């Protein structure tokens, strides 16, 4: 029956002296709780593996400070995950090396622990994935997968120009997910510059309307953390 949590907990009980073992009704509750925790932990570990997060980041390692323009209260609220239930987006911007990707991966890690399926993409790889799906005939399948995924993280947004096909595909993905699923966008360019980056007024209006209609913004400040490490 694959009740690994129950088996492990029951074996632990058998190893205890008789006077320390739980009564029957207490044992049933204890075994059920052990099985629940085991399945929850296995599911979270599986989701973290499938997410393919770029960085091994956990929320406890995220530095919140006035200097970074990241308030602890703001980050704590995001960690609670209500934005996922509301289908709201998170837009993280700031200079290179300031820790944007680390924060995004920490939020992704937390979502996995909460039982939320997550997918991480570098934007360049994401564009390659879209192009390849058109070639091998899996484009619609990919769009359907992205529509069903509760949280998508797109890192390094706006580093290279977008083709017309990618703009329209991105718009379709946002339309499919609007107010139902969340997306985290990470970019060096401020949100105010995204309209110019997309460089097509009608499409840009549509994309930004869906991205910023329900969003939380983290505008990081400060020097490169890579320099600080050196």
pLDDT tens across 48-107, in order? 999 999 999 999 999 999 999 999 999 999 999 999 999 999 999 999 999 999 999 999
Q: Are residues 32 and 89 in the same domain?
A: no
Domain region containing 196: 52-229
Residue-level pLDDT at 224: 76
Q: What is the C-alpha to C-alpha distance for residues 135 and 155, in angstroms, rounded to an integer?
A: 24
Q: Among candidates 208, 228, 206, which has minimal Cα distance to 217?
A: 208
CATH number for the domain that contains residue 136: 3.40.50.300
Q: Are residues 145 and 191 in the same domain?
A: yes
Residue-level pLDDT at 28: 64
Residue-level pLDDT at 82: 97
Residue-level pLDDT at 80: 97
CB 189 within 8 A of CB 63: no
Q: Are residues 68 and 38 in the same domain?
A: no
Residue-level pLDDT at 4: 62
Beta-ladder partners of 92: 186, 218
Provide the domain count of the chain: 2
Q: Are residues 69 and 137 in the same domain?
A: yes
Q: Are residues 197 and 101 in the same domain?
A: yes
Residue-level pLDDT at 14: 63
Q: Are residues 194 and 80 in the same domain?
A: yes
Ranges of residues in the chain whose predicted pLDDT is under 70: 1-11, 13-16, 18-22, 24-25, 27-32, 34-39, 225-230
Q: Are residues 33 and 143 in the same domain?
A: no
């Amino acid at each position: 029956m694959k009740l690994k949590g129950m088996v492990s907990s029951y074996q632990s009980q058998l190893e205890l002296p008789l006077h320390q073992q739980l009564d029957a009704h207490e044992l049933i509750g204890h075994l059920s709780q052990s099985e629940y925790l085991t399945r929850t932990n296995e599911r979270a570990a599986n989701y973290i593996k499938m997410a393919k997060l770029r960085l091994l980041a956990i929320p406890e390692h995220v530095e919140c400070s006035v200097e970074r323009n990241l308030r602890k209260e703001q980050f704590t609220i995001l960690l609670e995950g209500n934005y996922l239930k509301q289908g709201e987006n998170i837009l993280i911007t700031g200079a290179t090396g300031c820790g944007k990707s680390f924060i995004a991966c920490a939020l992704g890690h937390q979502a996995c622990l909460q039982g939320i399926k997550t997918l991480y993409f570098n934007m360049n790889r994401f564009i390659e994935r879209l192009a390849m799906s058109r070639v091998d005939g899996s484009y619609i399948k990919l769009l359907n997968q992205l529509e069903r995924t509760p949280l998508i993280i797109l890192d390094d947004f706006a580093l290279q120009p977008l083709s017309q096909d990618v703009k329209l595909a991105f718009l379709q993905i946002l339309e499919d997910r609007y107010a139902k699923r969340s997306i985290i966008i990470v970019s060096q360019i401020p949100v105010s510059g995204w309209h110019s980056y997309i460089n097509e007024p009608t499409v840009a209006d549509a994309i930004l309307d869906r991205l910023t209609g329900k969003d939380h913004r983290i505008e990081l400040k400060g020097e490169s953390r890579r320099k600080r490490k050196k």
